[in-house]
Amino acid sequence: MIAFIIHFLEVTAATVLDVLPIAIILFVFQALVVRKKPANLGRVLFGFLYVLLGLSLFLVGLEEALFPLGKAMAQMLTNPDFLGIEKGAPVRWEDYLWVYAFAASIGFATTVAEPSLIAVALKAQEVSGGTLRAFELRIAVAVGVAIGVSVGSYRIVSGTPLPYYIMAGYALVIIQTFLASKPIIPLAYDSGGVTTSTVTVPVVAALGLGLATAIPGRSPLLDGFGLIAFASVFPIVTVLGYDMLISWLRGQSKTTTDTKEESA
């Protein structure tokens, strides 16, 4: 219990240090440029207190409950003994099916719980006047991370060069940009950057490191990197895809009603 409290205080101190530069910048510009007391100052300060306290609790809880298990799992699943791979056997990508399954499901699950994604999705719902649903957007992003992390794991196993995959992802994004509806585009681009923070990075990084260590011929330093990049590109693809799907469904229901009217 005492260890837990000490841990909580440590994490809170680290979070305060994280917030400090932001608070200083806000204060300086408020005092020098805006020169007006912000409305509801007390409420805003309480809001900051909640954010600090909430984030610290969240991190402590994750470190207490989920990260050790998630990281241990990543190590166990990438262990050749568990996968039934004989020592010295050539690397075959089919031997790692459990790894891809774990990568996809943990990528999806951690993204759904990512606080910065929650923030952006809430804002998008508010700005769009509710036509864009925050939860649906988050699911679309999480599917993107799931695809990204499992394709990224396949890349580490197969040892193929990272830039080719990222280039293919970019090519997809560029094509989709021309096909998707305009209002979704900036939000889709943003969703690439918000997916990978507090919850996703530690577990995904452990997976990459575990894979690169376990597979002969891969260097953890060189091949362990790159999973985050996958998790940043593919959500753009799925969010744009989600928008295209919705437009297509709407068009579909329109044409069916049109044809019904015509036949009637």
Q: Considering beta carbons, is residue 93 or 189 the nearer one to another protein?
A: 189
Nearest C-alpha neighbor of 218 from the set 62, 134, 63, 96:
96
Q: Is 82 in the site for another protein (CB under 8 A)?
A: yes
Residue with tokens 């020098």: 32
Q: Considering beta carbons, is residue 18 or 136 the nearer one to another protein?
A: 18
Interior angle at CA 263, CA 261 and CA 264, nearest 5: 65
> What is the footprint of another protein within residues 144-183 (CB under 8 A)?
162-163, 166-167, 170, 173-174, 177, 182-183
Q: Is 89 in the site for another protein (CB under 8 A)?
A: no
Give the SS3 label for residue 219: coil
Residue of 92, 123, 133, 250 interacting with another protein (CB under 8 A): 123
Q: Considering beta carbons, is residue 50 or 248 the nearer one to another protein?
A: 50
Q: Is 214 in the site for another protein (CB under 8 A)?
A: no
d(CA 29, CA 120): 24
> What is the footprint of another protein within residues 34-63 (CB under 8 A)?
34, 36, 38-40, 43-63
Is the separation of the CB atoms in 140 and 109 below 8 Å? no
Q: How far is the CB of 117 from another protein (least distance, A)?
A: 8
Q: How far is the CB of 255 from another protein (least distance, A)?
A: 27
Residue of 226, 238, 242, 243 interacting with another protein (CB under 8 A): 226
Interior angle at CA 9, CA 6 and CA 13, nearest 5: 140
Q: Considering beta carbons, is residue 22 or 252 the nearer one to another protein?
A: 22
Nearest C-alpha neighbor of 226 from the set 172, 171, 148:
148
Residue with tokens 């990222």: 166
